[in-house]
Amino acid sequence: MVDSDPRVNGPFRNAEEVGFALGLASQNFWDELGRPAWLPRFFTQHLGAALKDHEAKFSHGDVQMRNIMVEKVLDNSSSGEAELDGEETEKHHEYRVSGIVDWESAGWYPAYWEYASALARAHEEIDWPEHVGRMMRPYPLELSMILLVFQDLQLIY
């Protein structure tokens, strides 16, 4: 969902404007459906305060497993095999990140955005949250608010 309204897309000067924009996006969504909703007012009134005091950081904006390219750098299959149930062996490989693609959402976002956006649509990727938690500083409260916004906008299926 891309809205051409600069009040929704920014740029924004502060957290209050971000909260207002998310509330306006929610209001626009529900107006298009022709249905009243209380969450747009809640977002407009409270998100700015709930998500304040974060400096702006340059972020990819869509860090997902599908956007990270890796290459195998070491194959430990001969020396690093672990026995499973006495019969099967598990091969261990080492990988390194060779690139990150899909930069169309990149920009200056609040510090929590990379973490929140990386997890907001991760429901099918079972171990992704653990990886994200090791790669990025966690922002659990901010993630909770962003999840609520994404659910309201039906960006999470």
Domain ranges of the chain: 1-53
Q: Which segment of 42-56, 57-71, 113-127 scores lowest on mean pLDDT?
A: 113-127
Lowest mean pLDDT among 45-49, 50-54, 76-80, 125-129: 76-80
Yes or no: say if 24 and 8 are a contact pair by the CB < 8 Å rule: yes
| pLDDT above 60: residue 151 | yes
Q: Where are the beta strands (DSSP E) in 24-144?
A: 56-59, 68-75, 82-84, 88-90, 93-100, 107-110
With 0-12 / 13-18 / 19 or more C-beta atoms within 10 angstroms meaning exposed / middle / buried, residue 19 is: buried
The answer, yes or no, to whether residue 115 has pLDDT greater than 70, is: yes
Instruction: Tell me if the pTM is above 0.95.
Output: no
In sequence order, the 6+-apart residues with CB closer than 8 A to the CB of 7 are 20, 21, 24
Residue 10 has which token pair? Answer: 């920014």
